Structure 1
Amino acid sequence: MILVTGATGTIGSELLRQLAARGEKARALTRDPARARVPAGVEVVRGDHHEPASVEAALSGVSALFAVGVLGPGDADADAALVAAARAAGVRRVVKLSAIGTGDPALGPVGTWHLGGEQAVRASELEWTILRPSSFASNTLSWAEAIHSGNPVSNMTGTGTQGVIDPRDVSEVAAEALLAPGHTGRVYTLTGPELLTTQDQAATLAEILGRPVTTADVPPDALREQFLRAGMSETYAEGVLAGTAYVRKGGNAVLTEDVRQVLDRAPRTYARWARDHREAFARD
């Protein structure tokens, strides 16, 4: 049995589809089972890291764990508690979803948010693998409303480039690490095949949609105000701003061969992801 935390999120939901397609036994952990949409055959259980007993119950009979970090400055101990509970439950293997740049001082506070989880799995004596994906292609789904309205999409990272990755590739690597031998003790930095700016991604969408998609730079002060109005804490907002500054300065201009190494194929391009998700951006 494989327990997938973050089961309704971008990576967890796709990982469940892949595990189900392989005929693996999977259990989805979610705070609201009634709203979870999972493939046939996947067990759904309620759990919340604020309620340790619920997580301990979900770990019963589990042999492998996919650990999605609870991202934020106030959740530093959540991963460590999850790993400790997994060890106590007899789990043998854990795959920890982290983020590119974790541990790099230049990334600022956001670069420390996954450190506790990474340190916990390294010290756990379990068969561990850490995944550090770059920016998700699916992040651009947040542009859909602006594109529908014919407005520019927000550019928070200037001319900084990133190895934008299709979340399906991250989930596929996670499945391999959970199921196959040879990944213990590995840290995989997962990127797409090319470095892209925000403008590059907008241009790709414009070509696919057959109409202009423009961008508008958003200064850091305006970003901070947007984040605070959206309900972010000051600490969280400062962390995210440090992350965008890191990208603007070229800190995330990283490409690796790790996806190819694990999957024995090239990672999907952003254009491939965009074509597959064209409906989300197309006008009604």
Structure 2
Amino acid sequence: MILVTGAAGNAGRQVVAALLAAGEPVRVLVRGERADGPSWPEGVEVVTGDLRDPAAVARALAGVRRVFLLLAEDGGAGFAEAARGGGLERVVVLSSKAVSDQEFAGLDNPLYAKHLRGEEAVRALGVPWTFLRPGGLASNALRWAGSVRREGVVRALFPELAAPLLDPRDLADVAVAALLADGHEGRIHTLTGPEIITVREQVAVLREETGREIRFEEISEADAPAVLGPGLPKGFIDIYIPVQKQYLKTRPVVLPALREITGGPGRTFREWARENSAAFR
């Protein structure tokens, strides 16, 4: 039995699908409001509970030997408390490229802190581990879906911000390899997509793939808390802006890990947009 946490998210759902396709038995740990409904494929065992609650994690871990771990806001403390001494064979952690990016040096960034604490907590378990450190995901564009459907507009900071976005399905392919195949223990895989694309270019691709007239509105730094803040954790914008400004000064790079592990270059943002265009209509 393989446990997938964070299974209701964009990456977790793809990991569940890929494991099922490989014929593996899958259990998911999800919060109660996400447990019901027709969205879980047949054969997936569902355990409800919060990843920060060691008792819930212990229930989910019963009979499990391998785990795909999405870190909660406690930095993996609840998971580690429940998993210690439980006989796990392997833990694959969905971490973040932020842990190793020098752009975050000196910045009080919660994304960096959460994933760094989570990696440390899993290392301390004494269980074979693999850390996956993706950069930006193509599915992050879904944050624009609501405004595109309602108004035909994308509002964002820094239109020239560029990144090699990773399709969640490619992330899932790497996760499944790390869960099932030998040779990934004790390794850190830093993952990117196959091409560098700016925010403005993403909007252009969405326009072409959806057939909609989508306009782009650049948000000023002063307006960002009012426009973007309501849907984000308190204080996040104050941290997000300086981090993104640091990234604007760097040159993004496509890394080879995805091709080395999966044998393919990975899916482009256009491929992701084509397959997810219904979300923007």
The TM-score normalised by the length of structure 2 is 0.89
Amino acid at match of 2:127: L
CA contact (8 A) 2:144 2:154 kept: yes
C-alpha displacement of 1:195: 0.7
Structure 1 gaps of 5+ residues are none
Contact persistence 2:65–2:88 (CA under 8 A):
yes
Aligned equivalents of 1:83, 1:219: Cα separation in 2: 41
Q: Aligned partners of 2:204, 2:42: CA distance in 1, in Å?
A: 38
| Cα shift readout 1:22-68 (whole Å, capped 9, x = no counterpart) | 11011100111335732111111112134321111211111111110
Q: Which amino acid aligns with 1:273?
A: W
Q: Which amino acid aligns with 1:38?
A: W
**Range with greater deviation from structure 2 (144-153 or 46-55):** 144-153
What does residue 265 of structure 2 align with?
Answer: 266
Whether contact under 8 Å (2:193, 2:254) holds in the other structure is yes
Taking only aligned residues, the RMSD between alpha carbons, in angstroms, comes to 2.1
Say which SS state the counterpart of residue 34 (structure 1) adopts.
Answer: coil
d(CA) in 1 for partners of 2:233 and 2:75? 19
CA contact (8 A) 1:7 1:30 kept: yes
Per the alignment, residue 165 of structure 1 pairs with: 166
Partner of 1:250: 250
Higher mean C-alpha displacement, 162-171 vs 112-121: 112-121
Query: Deviation string for 1:84-110 (max 9, x for gaps)?
Result: 422322111001101122143532213
Q: How far off is 1:136 after superposition?
A: 1.4
| Aligned partner (choices 59, 62, 65) of residue 64 of structure 2 | 62
The whole-number CA distance in structure 1 between the counterparts of 2:54 and 2:277 is 41
Distance in 1 between residues matched to 2:212 and 2:228, nearest whole Å: 29
Query: Which residue is 1:11 aligned to?
Result: 11
Distance 1:272 1:231 in 2: 27
Distance in 1 (alpha carbons) for counterparts of 2:153 and 2:229: 21
Are residues 36 and 28 of structure 1, via their aligned partners in 2, closer, same or farther at CA, if it must alter by over 3 Å?
Answer: farther
* 1:146-225 equivalent positions in 2, closer than 5 A: 146-149=147-150, 151-225=152-226
Instruction: Give CA deviations for 1:125-169 in whole Å, capped at 9, x if unaligned.
Output: 211111111211111122223333454312223312101111111
**How many residues are matched?**
275
State the 4+ residue runs in structure 1 displaced beyond 4 angstroms.
none
Distance in 1, Cα, partners of 2:202 & 2:119: 31
Identity, in percent, stands at 37
The structure-2 alpha-carbon separation of the partners of 1:50 and 1:36, relative to structure 1 and needing over 3 Å to count, comes to farther
Residues 47 and 60, structure 2, Cα contact 8 Å, conserved in 1: yes
CA deviation after TM superposition for structure 1 residue 200, in Å: 1.0
Matched residue, 1:137: 138
Instruction: Output the amino acid matched with 2:86.
Output: A
- Return 5+ residue gaps in structure 2 as ranges: none
1:147 & 1:225 partners in 2: Cα distance? 18
Give me the whole-angstrom Cα distance separating, in 2, the residues matched to 1:68 and 1:194: 25
- Cα gap change, 1:36 to 1:208, in 2 (>3 Å): closer
TM-score with structure 1 setting the length: 0.88
Q: Does the 8 Å contact 1:18/1:172 carry over to 2? A: yes
Provide the C-alpha distance between the structure 2 equivalents of 1:67 and 1:239, rounded to a whole number of angstroms: 25
Shift of 1:262: 1.0
Q: Deviations over 1:197-248 (max 9, x none)?
A: 01111111222234443322112221123344346322x3333334433333
